[in-house]
Amino acid sequence: MATSNQPTQPESPAQQDSAKPAVNTRQLQEYTAADAALTTDKPWELVVTSKKLKQLAIAVAIFVIIIHIFMAVVVGIGYTGAAVTPIDQWAFFGVGIIIAVLGYLAFSRPRVRVNADGVDVRNIIGSRFYPWAVIYGLSFPEGSRMARLELPDFEFVPLWAFQSADHGSIVDNVSKFRELEAQYMPQD
């Protein structure tokens, strides 16, 4: 087997593009539905979180801790027929701390990030990236608490980060999102 010492010519961009298989919009939608992994390396141009949800998260955590402290104190008062030890009282408090932390993490989690590749939606449970090719737009139905990201086949994703309770900031965030939508969303 003879080898050549001549340098090989690099492929032109046209040759590289012709070697890549073409993916149509329908296939991209199916791939995104199957596994919408975050596949972007571009900087985020818009990041939205809800201030009211963070305030709610703090209120929920404080409320749960107060209720569990109250239960820990009351369970030890009087004799009900069951032996209640100080460890049981501390357990009420400990369970309250765990529930409060989980509640805080759940309600402070929602976030929406936007860049040239698409929209990353992180709600209370789960996170998903949607490329611009599968997004039909942002809607905020009248009387709704939160906006939604419109997808193919009349599907949508609620955007917990866009809360109507945020009043002034929500208008600015929706207009910034729509500017990026007009800039990056395909025109078909």
**Average pLDDT, integer, range 83-87:** 87
**Average pLDDT, integer, range 119-137:** 91
Q: Are residues 92 and 123 in the same domain?
A: no
Q: Are residues 133 and 89 in the same domain?
A: no
**Average pLDDT, integer, range 137-160:** 92
The span from the CA of 59 to the CA of 74, in Å, is: 22
What total of structural domains would you count in the chain?
2
Give the lowest-confidence range in 54-58, 64-68, 75-79, 90-94: 75-79
| Angle between helices 51-75 and 86-108 in degrees, nearest 10 | 170
Q: Are residues 101 and 128 in the same domain?
A: no
pTM (whole model) above 0.75: no
For residues 161 and 54, is the Cβ–Cβ distance under 8 A?
no
Mean pLDDT of the chain: 85
Write out the residue range of the structural domain in which residue 81 sits.
54-107
Position 33 in a domain:
no
Position 90 in a domain:
yes
162: domain CATH number is: 2.30.29.30
